[in-house]
Amino acid sequence: MSRVRLMPRLDVKGKNLIKGIHLEGLRVIGDPQSHARRYYEEGADELLYVDVVASLYGRNSLHDIVRDTARDVFVPLTVAGGLRSIDDVREVLRAGADKVGINTAATKRPELIREVARRFGSQCMVLSIEAKRIGPGRWEAYTDNGREPTGLDVIAWAQQAVELGAGEILLTSIDKEGTREGFDTALVAAVTDAVPVPVIASGGMGNVEDLIDVVKNGHADAVAMADVLHYNRLTLAQIRESAIEAKLNVRAS
């Protein structure tokens, strides 16, 4: 099994780091760049920036934040939110991103996945899926920060995206996001078992046991975490130490 990556997730609205529950009820946490630097210094494997209102306003406003972060942070940066074209992707990569997460625009025009993968490489093209459970073993993909249903089955959509060239899946459970109740491990397992590319589990981490569960039983390749770090309930060092004790294949500190 490949090494499991620990990825702080920074949801941004305007110039503020925010956090919500079920992708709603957003609370301001502070300055995203200072948090990004702290997480890098604590040993994050990668960082994930998400502009949570970008699709609503039709543009990504993270360029300056990403550019400033890239000067101080030397781990891969994935940037998501409001990216609708090759030009949008090029701009955010020039600002310092290593990978881009695309959701809304890809559901409206799946060929964009192929275009990004061909131009910048499949390793750059991360399909972002916001998933909501609609029945036993069934999830629907949503867009616009969990507001708009697409009618797309999550498993089928993930498989189609990989066929088009997506090199990674960012999988966020709307039902679990911000609840501290643990990941939707069944969702993560269903997607990881259906596609041959890495899957990042996001939404619901409340403690280290949740991470261990989603890696061992959901087969997640990476774990995105926000609340548990933003509110200083755990440090990355503590999470990494516990993961190593559980014999997960994570990078030693």
Catalytic residue annotation: 11, 130
> Up-side HSE of residue 6: CA atoms within 13 Å toward CB?
29
> Up-side HSE of residue 10: CA atoms within 13 Å toward CB?
29
Neighbours of 108 (CB within 10 A): 11
CA distances from 155 to 102, 107, 195 (A): 17, 14, 9
Question: Cβ distance 81 to 62 under 8 Å?
Answer: yes
Helices (H) and strands (E) in the chain, counts: 11, 12
Instruction: Please identify which residue in the block is written with the tokens 């997607």.
Output: 191
Q: How many residues in the chain?
A: 253
Tokens of residue 115, six digits: 């275009």
Q: Under 8 Å CB-to-CB from 165, ≥6 apart: which residues?
A: 113, 114, 116, 117, 118, 122, 125
State the Cα–Cα distance between residues 29 and 10, nearest whole angstrom: 10
Going by C-alpha positions, the residue among 220, 219, 253 that lies closest to residue 236 is: 253
